[in-house]
Amino acid sequence: MERNKICIERELRSKSAGIIWSLMSTPEGLAKWFADEVKRDGDTFVFTWGNVWSHHEVRTADIIDKKAFDYIRLRWSEMEYNDTYLELKMNKSDITGDYILTITDYAPDGDTAVLEDIWDANMEALHRSTGL
DSSP 120-132: HHHHHHHHHHH--
The pLDDT value given to residue 83: 81
Phi, psi at 104, each rounded to 5°: -115, 125
The pLDDT value given to residue 108: 86
The pLDDT value given to residue 2: 78
- Angle CA(80)–CA(114)–CA(107) in degrees, nearest 5? 25
Cα(15)–Cα(93) distance, integer angstroms: 9
The pLDDT value given to residue 64: 96
Q: What is the mean pLDDT of each run of 10 residues along the chain (132 residues)?
A: 90 96 98 97 96 86 97 89 90 96 93 94 95 91
